Amino acid sequence: MTVIGIIAEFNPFHNGHKYLLKQADGLKIVAMSGNFVQRGEPAIVDKWIRAQMALENGADLVVELPFLVAVQSADHFAKGAVEILSRLGIDQLIFGTEEVLDYQAIATIYSEKGAEMEGFLRSLPDDLSYPQKTQKMWETFAGVEFTGDTPNHILGLAYAKACAGKGIALKPVQRQGAGYHSEEKEVAYASATSLRLHKEDQDFVARFMPNSQLFQSAPQVSWENYDQLLRYQILTRPDLTQIFQVNEELANRIKDAVRSASSVEDLVEKVATKRYTKARVRRILTYILVGAMDQSLPDAIHVLGFSAKGQAHLKSLKGQVDLVTRIGKEPWDSLTQQADQVYQLGHPQLPEQIWGRVPVRVEESTV
């Protein structure tokens, strides 16, 4: 049986994600962000709910991306996720993208010219943001052109880079419906952005999300729920440069801006520059919120849920891969667990995220 990997946030899970899972034929393993996501914000519903929705709609196994993989720029996010999926024995990586290119050929270019390409990246001026630098690298070495706002395409290139030399087949799927950040409601497939924005519109949510009652009945959070906690961390921590990826310039900009910022989004606007993108600033604020320090990634893989087919695959890996299905006295990943505890403070009805939690079991998906 073909073992297929999918890297996802499912923030929240919607019909477009269900469509992507349907395009995969084989055992489907999802490496999913935990309670904080790549663009630097808390997930709208917790990781257990999102894992359950994925399992009920085609996934066979859902594992968690550690915090320092999930809340990272595209290259680090892709590298960490692919490493986990590779250890779980995937043959293919399937992903949605706005531009279906020959990503396999792009991966081959990187496997042959990686050192030269990374040297080119380092040679580019510092006034360019990292995303701008990587775009120039792909344009120069692979002839890839970028048009408009295509974050899934940029992630696809990061996946190609991460899969180079690993023997993993890359299977892009044309993204359906509205654009990634589209807020439109009259569409065939609503975006996750639109569903977060219109979450109070139950009819709209039900139309574009399978098992929408599970989502609608779950405690929901956004940056607004953590505004005061974030301010407390900024105002009381004497040296923000101790936090992961915070340099002196960013520390000073954040300390100055927090006094007049009316919201987290306003703080992002005040701190962001051409060099420090809004996404990077949001990630930095997430690191400050949870008190993230640089640390090594966990050796073990945390299992969030499985189907009967997924459970059988886990049994076949016994002795080859260190798997965690219940977190005990020793932490699986101390930073991820710290982030989980901070996340839980965002809503009084959020259930326990760590202790006593066991993988979600779904006997058979509804797909």
Token pair 């690191």 in the structure block, residue: 287
Alpha-carbon gap, residue 1 to 24, rounded angstroms = 12
Q: Is 120 annotated as a binding residue?
A: no
Q: Is 77 annotated as a binding residue?
A: no
Q: Is 252 annotated as a binding residue?
A: no
Q: Is 247 annotated as a binding residue?
A: no
Q: Is 96 annotated as a binding residue?
A: yes
Q: Is 211 annotated as a binding residue?
A: no
Q: Is 76 annotated as a binding residue?
A: no
Alpha-carbon gap, residue 212 to 51, rounded angstroms = 14
**For residue 348, what are the contacts with CB-CB under 8 A and spacing of at least 6?**
none
Q: Is 14 annotated as a binding residue?
A: yes
Q: Is 302 annotated as a binding residue?
A: no
Cα dihedral value 231, 233, 237, 241, nearest 10: -100
| CA distances, 201 to each of 54, 173, 194, 217, 349 (Å) | 22, 29, 11, 13, 21
Q: Is 19 annotated as a binding residue?
A: yes
Q: Is 208 annotated as a binding residue?
A: no
Helical segments of 130-263, H only:
130-142, 151-163, 192-197, 202-208, 212-216, 227-236, 248-257
Q: Is 93 annotated as a binding residue?
A: no
Tokens for 207?
């139309």
Q: Is 178 annotated as a binding residue?
A: no
DSSP classification of residue 73: -
Alpha-carbon gap, residue 36 to 232, rounded angstroms = 19
Summarize the annotated binding site as residue ranges.
7-20, 96, 152, 175
Q: Which residues are annotated as a binding site for ATP?
A: 7-20, 96, 152, 175
